[in-house]
Structure 1
Amino acid sequence: MPHFASPFVTASDAHPIRSRPPPREIGRFAETSSVRWLRRVFAVLNRTAPSASARLAYALLTRPPRVPERAWEAAIRAQAHTSALPFGTGRLAVYEWGTGPAVLLVHGWGARATHFGKLVPALVASGRRVVAFDAPAHGRSSGRHTTLPDFAEAVAAVAGHAGEIQSLIAHSFGVAMALWAQAEWGLRVQRQVLFSSLDHCQWVTEEFARLVDLPSAVIERGRQLMVERTNGRMTWDALSVADWLRQSTAPTLLLHDADDAEVPIHHFFNLMKACAQRPLDLHVTEGLGHHRLLGDAGVIARVMDFLHAPGH
């Protein structure tokens, strides 16, 4: 594992909401022409109509981007048994490969089930049934906007549809939603592999506020809109991924890349610190970033070793 100095920091220590770090060149929070345009729009609204600014922030934070499906993702999707699971007023696209004990895959914000496509063949070859889905307003599932409770509830709904879940594999924001589903929606798993996780859901809103220069009062109002429009099904203080992981009893492999440009490595260390009294299997890579981690042959081998290990 690479050496890191002073690893245990909080999101607020590392990222005070009113100071923007040097622009990122890659990742969801990268400096782009669209971001610069959006920053100018918010600058006008913040001065003239802060309520409208908060509503726009809410709309953007609840509308995941729909990333085009790559050819290799489409190919793995074509091999799946696909079904539509009723959910709320819409449906969830559900995909299954193979037979055997069920492994549930939970993708991150703005991704889709086939983001895990390079893991699927190894899991199927090991005698497992892989179950994945596109979250609400993601991929081929219905909707254009979704909320955090809906995402977490969808995880539990797909698990209920699939039957007993032996293993859970989640990535990025999907880790938070899968752990929340365990804490509040009754999801039970025997073991779990968690990639590139943030340590608290509120961090995403802080990063967004910093990216587009939102005043604290405006982003706070945007957060409050999320609470109000979910009928109180969420409170921001309770959305601690670190707390959920500490409460989870499933054997856990936690993976992160030291060069992750979307969810910095300090989140990994904060989760380690929060779980100091609970055993975790840990794996840190270098140079793979936030997404290539999922398809790396060495990482896939590490995941399979963890799933096959005695006691797991």
Structure 2
Amino acid sequence: MTTTTVQTDAPTFDNRQDFADELINLARANDRVVAVCNDSVGSSNLTKFREEFPDRLINVGIAEQNMVGVGAGLANAGFIPFVCAAGPFLTGRALEQIKADVAYSQHNVILCGMSPGMAYGELGPTHHSVEDFSWLRPLPGLDIVVPADGPQTRSALRNAVADPRPTYIRVGRFKVPQVSGDNAGLERGKFVVAREGTDVTLIATGTEVSRALWAAASLAAEGVSARVLNAAYLSPLDEDAIKDAARQTGGIITAEEANVAGGLGAAVASVVGQLEDGARVPMRILGLKDHFSPTGSTAFLLDHFGLSADHIVAAAREVLNRD
């Protein structure tokens, strides 16, 4: 039985610190590990990497399309490039290069979307990366990894070096509590069962995993047993976990710090919708819908778009009470 609990007042951490520390550890052990960035040494937390490996950091300047092409060239030459840039500029400006130079060409580039979702808060929609799932999920052969905390961020990087392949990793900036053990390991294409449950399933990714766990604790106090699945991989997608949730619980709620058009909820709904009639269950998809964000902090924006634990609880109640 898996029962993870996270206190609402638990300490929170910036995943970029674990990213930076683990990348240095991996570079010390493997001289093929290099970093490429777009004049974002500070915001990508690569300062210490540059100090220790000045010849293994390539700063192309504010030229994201070129940056991805350089990463593809390095991968083709046998290196393991971690291409780092703020999520909106990496995926928005360089989408064609991600498609052609990385996914189609199957070059083993690790694309690191730094400060994804609405982590830049008050800088507004131009700096928010809420469309990345929708843009990248349709690309064949590109893994999409969304660690929920520091240990899972480290695991994602270790996996990328142990088995290099075209990969996009969201590296969170918004501070979150730890929801997994210090030695957490992610398995390619698998969700992590953060909490067992039989009444309803909460499928969350990234920043929303801790909030889903808070929601599950609140539901438990009401006598509702909520399963929590940490959707650490959006591609490959864990269809078996989704099918089990549909067959074994009475409803599914998805929560993502992203636009719901083509994101986690859409992926889950596609699987559920293709099940035989008797296995289909009601769903609610939580995320951004047809609106650019107002100005405000990340915490404010998550609540504004219905991504709080209370909103997840309300969605679960609605699903379970549905005739």
TM-score tier by shorter-chain length is: 0.3 to 0.5
Could you say which structure has the greater relative contact order, defined with CA pairs below 8 angstroms and 6 or more residues apart? 1
Normalised TM-score (structure 1) = 0.41
